[in-house]
C-alpha cells in the first residue's frame, strides 16, 4: 500500500491537483459573491458548462486559447444575466430557477454543439482545438485565476462595493433606506459570479483541448458545497475547493494505478466527500439573512 501511495503522491500529482481545483475555485468565488448579495446560485453548474462550450467554440474558430477564455467568460455572463432576469426582475423561486437553468444549459450546449460543428457525427464532443498545452505554472490563465481569488477576496471584505454586497445580503431594507439600490447590487454580483464561473468552465475545455457534453460533471454543485463550507467567505471557499480538487485528482490517480478498488467506487469518492463534509458544516454555518429572499 505504501508503494502505491508513493507512486500516486508525486510532484505531478500536486500540479494536477492545482489544475483540477481551478474550475471549482472560480465557481465557488462566483457563488460566494452572488450569495453574499442574497441570491442563491445553484445555477453555477449551468454557467460552468456554458462557459466550457463557448470557450471551445471561441478557441476553435478564433484559433487561440485567449479568444476561448474571453468567449467562456462571456458565456457565463450571458447565463448569469438570464438567471438574474428571472430571479431578481421577476422574483422567481431561486432554487427552482437555478435547477431549470442547469437543465437548460445541458440541453442547449448539446444542441448548439451540433449547429456549431455540423460535420460532427457525434453530439458528445467538439473537434480538437487550441489548448493550454504547457505546465500549470507557465499558464497565464492559472495566474489570472489566482488574481481573481485575491481580487474577489479584497473586493468583498475591503471595498465599498463589497460592503454594499454584504449589506444587501444581510439587511436589504436597511441598505435601501441608505440609498443603496438592492437589486442593482444583486445584478452586479450575479453577473460577476457568471463571469467567474465562465472562466472556470473555459479552463475545463481549454485544458482538455475540446468540449465534451456535460463536462462540468457536477462541479458547480460541489462548488456550492464549498461556499457553504467556507461560510460564504471567498478565500475559505477556495480553500475548501482544494480539498475537492484533491479528491478528484486522487480519483484519477487511483484509477490509473489500479489499486484493486472498483472504478465505480473510486468515481463516487468526490461526491461522498461532498455529502460527508456538508453534513458536518450545515448546522454550524450561518447564511446571509436575506439569502433566497427577493426584494421588491
Residue whose entry in the numeric block shows the C-alpha cell 464561473 = 197
Q: Does 210 reside within a domain?
A: yes
Band (pLDDT 50/70/90 cuts) for residue 2 is: low
Cell of 52: 466550457
pLDDT in tens, 167-206: 999 999 999 999 999 999 999 999 999 999 999 999 999 9
pLDDT in tens, 94-124: 999 999 999 999 999 999 999 999 887 777 8
CATH code of 173's domain: 1.10.3470.10
Distance (Å, rounded) from C-alpha 261 to C-alpha 275? Answer: 21
Q: Does 295 reside within a domain?
A: no
Residue 121 pLDDT: 74
**Range ranked top by mean pLDDT from 4-8, 118-122, 226-230, 276-280:** 226-230
SS3 10: coil
Residue 178 pLDDT: 94
Mean predicted confidence (pLDDT) in 222-247: 92
Residue 221 has pLDDT above 80, yes or no: yes
Count up the domains in the chain and report the number: 1
Band (pLDDT 50/70/90 cuts) for residue 276 is: confident
Q: Does 291 reside within a domain?
A: no
SS3 126: coil
Mean predicted confidence (pLDDT) in 221-245: 93
Distance (Å, rounded) from C-alpha 143 to C-alpha 92? Answer: 37
Q: Does 82 reside within a domain?
A: yes
pLDDT in tens, 7-66: 567 888 899 999 999 999 999 999 999 999 999 999 999 999 999 999 999 999 999 999
Q: Which residue segment(s) compose the domain that 157 sits in?
A: 2-281
Q: Does 296 reside within a domain?
A: no
Query: What is the full DSSP assignment across 174-231?
Result: HHHHTT--HHHHHHHHHHHHHHHHHHHHHHHHHHHTS-BTTTTTTHHHHHHHHHHHTT
Q: Does 99 reside within a domain?
A: yes
Band (pLDDT 50/70/90 cuts) for residue 271 is: confident
SS3 131: coil
Residue 74 has a CB neighbour count (10 Å cut-off) of 18
> Could you give the count of Cα atoms lying within 13 Å of 182 in the half-sphere of its Cβ?
22
Mean pLDDT of the chain: 90
Mean predicted confidence (pLDDT) in 119-144: 86
Q: Does 294 reside within a domain?
A: no
Mean predicted confidence (pLDDT) in 202-223: 94
Report the Cα 250 to chain-centroid distance in Å.
Answer: 20
Global pTM value = 0.93
- Considering only CA atoms, which of 24, 86, 17 is closest in space to residue 217? 24
Residue 47 has a CB neighbour count (10 Å cut-off) of 37
Helix (H) or strand (E) holding 237: helix 234-257
Distance (Å, rounded) from C-alpha 39 to C-alpha 168? Answer: 10
Q: Does 180 reside within a domain?
A: yes
Residue whose entry in the numeric block shows the C-alpha cell 500540479 = 15
Residue 3 pLDDT: 58
pLDDT in tens, 62-89: 999 999 999 999 999 999 999 999 999 9
Residue 260 pLDDT: 66
Amino acid at each position: 500500500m505504501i508503494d502505491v501511495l508513493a507512486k500516486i503522491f508525486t510532484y505531478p500529482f500536486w500540479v494536477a491537483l492545482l489544475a483540477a481545483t481551478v474550475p471549482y475555485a472560480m465557481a465557488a468565488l462566483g457563488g460566494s459573491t452572488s450569495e453574499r448579495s442574497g441570491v442563491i446560485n445553484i445555477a453555477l453548474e449551468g454557467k460552468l458548462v456554458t462557459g466550457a462550450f463557448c470557450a471551445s467554440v471561441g478557441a476553435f474558430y478564433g484559433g487561440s486559447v485567449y479568444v476561448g477564455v474571453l468567449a467562456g467568460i462571456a458565456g457565463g455572463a450571458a447565463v448569469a444575466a438570464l438567471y438574474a432576469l428571472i430571479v431578481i426582475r421577476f422574483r422567481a423561486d431561486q432554487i427552482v430557477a437555478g435547477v431549470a437553468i442547469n437543465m437548460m444549459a445541458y440541453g442547449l450546449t448539446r444542441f448548439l454543439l451540433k449547429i456549431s460543428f455540423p460535420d460532427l457525427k457525434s453530439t458528445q464532443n467538439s473537434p480538437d482545438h487550441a489548448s493550454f498545452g504547457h505546465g500549470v505554472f507557465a499558464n497565464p490563465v492559472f495566474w489570472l485565476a489566482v488574481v481573481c481569488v485575491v481580487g474577489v477576496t479584497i473586493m468583498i471584505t475591503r471595498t465599498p462595493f463589497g460592503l454594499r454586497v454584504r449589506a444587501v445580503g444581510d439587511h436589504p431594507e436597511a441598505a435601501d433606506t441608505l440609498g443603496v439600490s438592492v437589486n442593482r447590487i444583486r445584478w452586479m454580483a450575479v453577473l460577476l459570479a457568471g463571469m467567474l464561473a465562465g472562466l472556470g468552465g473555459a479552463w475545463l475545455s481549454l485544458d482538455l483541448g475540446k468540449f465534451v457534453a456535460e463536462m462540468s460533471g457536477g462541479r458547480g454543485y460541489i462548488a456550492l458545497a464549498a461556499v457553504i463550507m467556507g461560510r460564504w467567505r471567498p478565500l475559505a471557499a477556495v480553500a475548501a475547493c482544494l480539498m475537492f480538487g484533491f479528491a478528484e485528482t486522487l480519483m484519477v490517480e487511483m484509477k490509473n494505478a489500479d489499486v484493486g478498488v472498483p472504478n465505480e467506487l473510486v468515481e463516487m469518492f468526490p461526491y461522498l466527500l461532498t455529502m460527508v463534509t456538508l453534513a458536518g458544516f450545515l448546522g454550524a454555518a450561518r447564511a446571509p439573512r436575506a439569502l433566497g429572499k427577493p426584494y421588491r
